[in-house]
Structure 1
Amino acid sequence: MNLGIVRTLVDILDAGNLSEAARRRGVTRSQISKELKELERQAGTMLVYRTTRHVAPTEAGRILYEHGHRMLAELRAAREAIQGLGDEIRGHVRISVPTALGTSHLGGALIAFQERHPEVTLRVRYSNLVENLVGDEVDIAVRILRDVPVSEFASEVSQIPWRLFAATSYLARRKPIAKPEDLADCDFLCTTGPPSSPTPLTLRLQSGRRIEQVAMKARMQSEHLPFLREAMLGGLGIAPLPDYAASDDVDRGAARVILPEWKLIGLDGRLFILAAQDRNAPRAVRALIDHLREMLGVIVDRYAADRG
């Protein structure tokens, strides 16, 4: 069975349909269909279930896909190892980063990587979604998650704490916030929750097990953390944000951490680097993962030291 034609099955299942596989390969749909039929003839069985818009593997197709995917990755790694003997790291890497962390910190890290490895080209996507990396044509994704997708190879970097932040201008025009119940009459800027009903906010005292829950009515909601930070700095209310998003604002006196002795429950996540491949990843992908682990570790350690 020709490995080149096995690649057709891998391409089809990665793309989700024949037309998209043809687009990615730069060939016609009829060419992809012809290669699939030939592969099924050689295998002696049907490999995919076809509909007008989607394909799904049969059991035989799934087995052949898994083996074919590994063989192609091994072949690509071997080719790169041979080409890279004595040469600079080179290649193309597609990376997806979260909007807030990407805007505030990762842009500089990616520029530094490209300066270090000028033969590597990057395609950078800003997105908060957790993709199917192979299907969405992404090699690496940096994500803050509570649960790791089982379909990806995940490398944990650290915990990411969230805190309550407010602009000094907002705090100057209202009574002091000394305990959780003082939050009840504050303006709340958050990512989720129905605006017509209170949003529960759960806090735990850092030095013990005491837990408090406050019902807060959202004044503004957005999944875009840089926008929530801007709204907070504009004095519109209190916003729960990851440390990295607003700690610099605290350092320059534009914002303050509210109730620093209390920990937000249910918002903390873990910072991961997700990869579409593990040991068979191209050299450029492995080099960028190592670079990001180093840079992200420095970022997180800095805030942990500052706020600890």
Structure 2
Amino acid sequence: MRNTDDFLIFYHLIEQGSFSKAAEHIGLTKSVVSKRMTRLEEELGVQLLYRTTRKLTLTEAGEVFFSHAREVYLSVQNAEDAMSGLGERLSGTIRITVPTISGELILPKAIAEFSEKYPEITIQMDLDNRFVDIVEEGYDLAIRTGMLPDSSFIARRLVEAQWVICGAPSYFARHKAPKSYQELDKHNCLAYSYQETGATEWLFKGKSGPFTVRVNGNFSTNNASSLRSAALLGQGLVYVPRILVADDLARGELVEVLRDQVAKRLGIYAIYPYTRHQPAKIRLFIEHLYQCYQQHKEKF
């Protein structure tokens, strides 16, 4: 049976990206790490790495070996967590990618509470509205809205989000509030371009199922905060997730319309790649997110 150290050294070599960084991280000399990798390739009878002065690149065989090395590393980490007591020595980094709207609402509070409980775990959160390949770009999980895009990922539904149409009292002082979707052609409908149905396609309930209505307006943005600000300033109507404007609605700074006619309702998920040995810190973080979202579900 192959020495577990071979897997661990190879894992850290690829994660660190160079022999010198890996050697420093592991606590060995650069020459020892290099010799161990050369011996490993000789014993396996395959080339695992393409070495240049600037970077290391995995061969096809290297990709396969690295996937197993990562499983070995995670198994060791899980064993250490179990032996030391979960929550006592949990450390390391959790990388997450989230849409801007999620990163500006519930998540900051959730992360602050998690960091207070597990101060040795570092959370790295990247806000990005593009579709991020979490495996290719090295993320531990993503927060996404809507359907699970790939069956190779696992999704934990955090909460169900209802969308609303609303505007400021100052806007309704100039424009009569609509009673049905047919009246939206008389209104300035501000568009949120980060949604799968399109910036100017608003979803409504119908007798035979949901349908879309094309609206028009003089402002469109992919930034939810900017859209909310425009609505608060009385520029027009917006069609947004309730959580974005829940406090504004409660204070009367925005007024909801067409409540019983709006059809859009989407799940918010924590999505992560399948692995047989998921680190305890990831499991704990996802469970913490679920509890945090559930505590605020009335705002969704």
What TM-score results when the alignment is normalised by the length of structure 1? 0.76
- Per-residue displacement from partner, 1:141-167 (whole Å, max 9, x unpaired)? 322232344443321223222222222
Q: Whole-Å Cα distance in 2 between the matches of residues 54 and 233 of structure 1? A: 52
1:141 aligns with: 142
What SS does structure 1 have at the residue aligned with 2:219?
strand
Cα deviation for residue 62 of structure 1 reads 4.2
Q: Contact between 2:231 and 2:238, CA under 8 Å: does it hold in 1?
A: yes
Tell me, in whole angstroms, the C-alpha distance in 2 between the residues paired with 1:78 and 1:210.
51
- Residue 165 of structure 2 contacts residue 257 of structure 2 at CA under 8 Å; is this kept in 1? yes
Deviations 1:239-289 (A, max 9, x none): 221111112211110112221111245xx4321112356563333332222
Shift of 1:83: 3.0
Q: Does 1:88 align with 2:85?
A: no
Decide whether the 8 Å contact of 1:93 with 1:139 is kept in 2: no
- Report the Cα offset of residue 26 of structure 1: 5.3
Aligned positions, number: 288
> Deviation of residue 135 (structure 1)?
4.2
Q: Do the aligned partners of 1:166 and 1:256 also contact (CA within 8 Å) in 2? A: yes
Matched, 1:243 2:239: no
Q: What are the ranges of 5 or more consecutive residues in structure 2 without an aligned counterpart? A: 25-29
1:224 aligns with 2:223: yes
**What SS does the aligned partner of 2:18 have?**
helix
CA distance in 2, matches of 1:140, 1:4: 27
1:283 to 259, 268, 280: 280
The corresponding residue for 2:160 is: 159
CA contact (8 A) 1:101 1:244 kept: no
Partner of 2:252, secondary structure, is coil
Query: Equivalences for 1:85-234 in 2 at 5 Å?
Result: 88-96=88-96, 97-192=98-193, 199-205=200-206, 208-209=207-208, 213-234=212-233
Q: Deviations over 1:49-103 (max 9, x none)?
A: 8999895652x44432332221111012112322337x72531332434322332
Pair 278,269 (structure 1): closer, same or farther in 2 beyond 3 Å: farther
Percent identity over the alignment is: 23
> For residue 271 of structure 1, what is the aligned residue in structure 2?
268
CA contact (8 A) 1:101 1:245 kept: no
**What one-letter code is carried by the residue in structure 2 that aligns with 1:172?**
A
Q: Match for 1:287: what amino acid? A: L
Q: Is the 8 A contact 1:156 1:271 kept in 2?
A: yes
| Change over 3 Å in CA distance of 1:34–1:231 after alignment to 2 | farther
**Cα contact 2:7–2:73 (8 A) shared by 1:** no
Contact 2:193 2:220 in 1 (8 A): yes
Aligned residue for 2:114, secondary structure, equals helix
2: CA distance between counterparts of 1:233 and 1:27? 55
Change (3 A) 1:231 1:42: farther
CA contact (8 A) 1:94 1:137 kept: no
- Residue pair 1:185, 1:216 contacting (<8 A) in 2 also: no
- Secondary structure, aligned partner of 1:219: coil
The equivalences for 1:11-22 within 5 A come to 21-22=17-18
In structure 1, distance between residues paired with 2:289 and 2:236: 33
Which range is displaced more, 173-182 or 99-108? 99-108
**Any idea what the Cα deviations from partners look like across 1:214-256, whole Å, max 9, x if unmatched?**
3223422222211111111111222221111112211110112
Task: Report the alpha carbon displacement of residue 8 of structure 1 after superposing the two structures with TM.
Answer: 5.9
In structure 2, relative to structure 1, the CA distance for the partners of 1:130 and 1:91 (3 Å cut) is farther
Partner residue in 1 for 2:294: 297
Could you say what the CA RMSD is over the residues aligned between the two structures, in angstroms? Answer: 3.6
Distance 2:204 2:236 in 1: 18
Give the Cα separation in 2 of the matches to 1:23 and 1:128.
35
Q: Unmatched 5+ residue regions in structure 1?
A: none
Matched, 1:77 2:78: yes
